[in-house]
């Protein structure tokens, strides 16, 4: 199994491949500066389909690469769409129009939301992978960040949390769930919510979660939390055989790959830059 967290500047996109070749795409951001698009990457890898597509956050930076992916749906079809289902398409359309015209990614996602409505009959298998999703509901929250989908992926010896752009009120609401806290307590790799920004940092999270490493997807450092606060909560991993790293960023390290080894229940992390 491997997880690749792409460098999509201020956005998010990750790709998970199971031992049997089935995969997951988590968000679908792209990088204007480098010209990276998830669709181009998947075509180059001869990907023949995405079994599960998780939309963590209903903002353009998380789905800006979706129109290009949808344009090659004859070659890379998406089987299952996961999202916060408490938000209806018409409701999301109205929320986004409050801040301006709909972006291309949002238009593509709304089209999917209106068509991906059939129940899943034969879900794809993911050997040695378990996943769980949590979210706050509308109308308890009306902002897209606190309606983020939180995805936990559990592998032998490795657990990763992808919390989208969840902010302080959303974290604190979910922390009231003992089941949510149980998943959080097992996390080794913590993807910082809201690109590591201060609005997504909640100290109480780390009363429960004690990760080895924190990973931040963003294009530039704007807040102290993006380096120092998160680093205070991570145990650290060996880097380049001698250094200890507690925080990795796509800004500094490029695309980041996490690979586990089922046999010895370990994992290792690499970066492309």
Handedness of CA 63, 68, 70, 76 (dihedral sign): negative
- Could you tell me if 136 and 146 are in contact, meaning their C-beta atoms sit under 8 angstroms apart? yes
User: What's residue 2's pLDDT?
Assistant: 92
User: What's residue 226's pLDDT?
Assistant: 57
User: What's residue 67's pLDDT?
Assistant: 98
Assign domain 2-271 to a CATH class.
alpha beta
How far is it, in rounded angstroms, from Cα 89 to Cα 113? 6
Buried b (16+ CB within 10 A) or exposed e, 69-103: bbeeeeebebeebbbbeebeeeebeebbeeeeebb
User: Which segments within 139-273 are labelled E, that is strand?
Assistant: 150-155, 158-162, 189-191, 213-216, 237-239, 243-245, 247-249, 256-261, 266-271
- Parallel, antiparallel or unpaired: strands 189-191 and 158-162: parallel
* Residue numbers of the chain with a pLDDT score lower than 50: none
Instruction: List Cα–Cα distances, 170 to 12, 181, 186, in angstroms.
Output: 19, 14, 20
Q: Tokens in use for 142?
A: 């009306």
Domain ranges in the chain are 2-271
User: What's residue 265's pLDDT?
Assistant: 66
- pTM for this one? 0.96
User: What's residue 261's pLDDT?
Assistant: 73
How far is it, in rounded angstroms, from Cα 28 to Cα 38? 7
User: What's residue 42's pLDDT?
Assistant: 98
């Amino acid at each position: 199994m491997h997880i690749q967290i792409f460098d999509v500047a201020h956005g998010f996109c990750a790709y998970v491949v199971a031992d049997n070749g089935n995969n997951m795409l988590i968000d679908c951001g792209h990088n204007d500066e480098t010209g990276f698009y998830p669709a181009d990457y998947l075509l180059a890898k001869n990907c023949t389909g995405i079994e599960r597509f998780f939309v963590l956050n209903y903002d353009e930076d998380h789905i800006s690469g979706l129109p290009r992916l949808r344009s090659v749906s004859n070659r890379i079809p998406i089987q299952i769409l996961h999202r916060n289902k408490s938000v209806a398409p018409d409701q999301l359309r109205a929320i986004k129009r409050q801040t301006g015209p709909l972006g291309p990614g949002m238009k593509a996602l709304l089209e999917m939301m209106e068509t991906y409505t059939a129940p899943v009959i034969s879900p794809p298998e993911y050997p040695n992978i378990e996943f769980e999703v949590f979210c706050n509901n509308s109308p308890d929250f009306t902002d897209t960040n606190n309606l983020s989908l939180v995805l936990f992926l559990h592998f032998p010896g490795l657990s990763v949390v992808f919390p989208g752009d969840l902010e302080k009120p959303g974290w604190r609401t979910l922390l009231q769930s003992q089941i949510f806290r149980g998943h959080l307590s097992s996390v080794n790799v913590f993807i910082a919510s809201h690109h590591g920004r201060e609005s997504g940092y909640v100290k109480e999270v780390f009363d429960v979660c004690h990760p080895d490493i924190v990973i931040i997807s963003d294009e530039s450092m704007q807040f102290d939390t993006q380096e120092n606060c998160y680093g205070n909560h991570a145990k650290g991993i060996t880097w380049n055989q001698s250094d200890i790293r507690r925080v990795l960023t796509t800004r500094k390290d490029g695309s980041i790959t996490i690979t586990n080894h089922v046999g010895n229940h370990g994992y290792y992390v690499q970066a492309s830059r």
